[in-house]
Amino acid sequence: MIKFIVTFVAALAIAINACVIFYWRDIAYDPSETDLILCLLLLPLLAAATALAPYLIFLGIKRYKLSQEKKLRQAAEAELMQSEQKLKNSEKNIAAESRQFSVKIYSASAVHSFGENASILEEYMRFKSPELDPNLFNAYGLPVLSFRIKDLDEAVQSAEDDEPSNISMREQRIAQLLNQQIEQHTETLMMVSNHLKDSAMFYNSEMAYQYRMHPAWISEIDASEHTDENTENILKPVYRLDKITVHILLAENLIHYWSESFSEKLQNQLAGQYSILHAQIEIEHHFMSQPTSYAAWLKLLDQIAEQKHAFNLIINADSEIDQDWIDEKFWQTEAYIAAEYASSWCISSLDTEVLQLIPQKILKIALNETDLDAFLAKNQLIEHAQFKQDMPFVLILDDPADIKTIKKLQRSLIDSAVESHHLLYTKNNFGHTQQLAKIFSFMLGMHFPDEGIGMVYSVDQDSVYSYFQGYREDHIHQ
């Protein structure tokens, strides 16, 4: 704006001065000093002020309106911030109340380059390192370290031979991990399938008709049972079970690559293999990022604890054993270590009952608990024999090399029954494949010996304490 005004005044002054000078020359006028000041200095300034007055008035009014709007906006923002602060304070007060929820775990499986299930924990305790991978190379063509599941190579190659695919090697390996985990729960899923059928026959007439017409069940239902009278005689009351939900936990960096058809294929696979109606199968994908995965995991468990008429299969899987994938990573980190792993649970709320299916363990999670000993005392764990032994039974999901983490752990565990030799750090067993590492290690807590307890803790949620206990032992305490 200033540049425009200066340019305008200069141009106007030059034009007026030129006119005055040429006029004086034509009439042969000899101007005095006063004439020069008045005509060549004051006259251009007066003319410029007159010409610019409307423009300056317009700018002044516009600026005034903007300042008024800014004041009103600042006042509104201040009021909004006050209301948000009040809301946060109220939520904080509500959240400050400690609460605990529990879930049943019927079957569990885990696989890592260290082995399966409890053997993984044993290798954790031995501080096993990654191995040189002859099939992965760095930018110089040299083999690199990795946590590769060697048995998975054959399964991936066999699947590729049977049905060639154009998806990446990483997606192929994850798909195989997911399928292998489902196979580990065959017996549990068969019992759930039977209960879903019985529940539908008793509670849902539409689904009952579909089951009567289902090829897998039609031989078990005699034609004479189609009358209302006979149906009442053969049907027995069972706990209501409406559906099975399969939760697929994947790394967030797969969100734009993962095939959308996987859900449909998995639903068809479960419906065909276990004779479950499609309407009773839900597939949910959860794409997790490393900073928020633990909080999202706890939220998912909390939601499951509230679902009284649903059964859940959770599968957590990730793999970065893919040359194309790690080639991209070597641009960021030369010593990149890729890993792959998978874990799964069949899980439900405490109120859910499945015929002929007994849970293996109970998982209890306390939220907003500031005192570890208070948590242990509340759950009658303080006198447990493990606290007097040297074997680790508390999985720590954080980096032991981080000074801030160690300080937070010391503050959380100081003056408690948990000693430093009871802690087992897990982070270093996944290389740089960390997106779902905390969830995998949490689920691995299920594989501590049945006669003891297994605890899990992370400073990411420093007021959350979790522990696993055998189902029968938990009932004895109750």
233-273 pLDDT, tens digit per residue, is 456 788 999 999 999 999 999 999 898 889 999 999 999 99
What is the pLDDT at residue 224? Answer: 37
Q: What is the pLDDT of residue 230?
A: 46
Q: Measured between alpha carbons, how far is 103 from 323 in angstroms, rounded to an integer? A: 39
- Share of residues in the chain with pLDDT > 90 (%): 48
User: Which residues of the chain fall short of a pLDDT of 70?
Assistant: 1, 86-96, 205, 208-209, 211, 213-235, 472-478
Residue 433: the pLDDT is 95
Q: What is the pTM of this model?
A: 0.76
Q: Which residue has the tokens 């040189």?
A: 132
Q: What's the confidence (pLDDT) of residue 62?
A: 83
Place of tokens 């059928």: 197
CA distances (Å), origin 244, targets 163, 263, 349, 395? 28, 14, 12, 29
Asked if 172 and 159 touch (Cβ cutoff 8 Å), the reply is yes
CA distances from 83 to 77, 86, 95, 104, 229 (A): 10, 5, 18, 40, 62
> Taking the domains of the chain in order of start, what are their residue ranges?
2-90, 102-359, 363-477
Evaluate whether 396 touches 438 at the Cβ level (below 8 Å): no
Position 149 scores a pLDDT of 95
Q: Which CATH architecture has domain 102-359?
A: 3-Layer(aba) Sandwich (3.40)
Q: What is the pLDDT of residue 465?
A: 93
Q: What is the pLDDT of residue 55?
A: 78
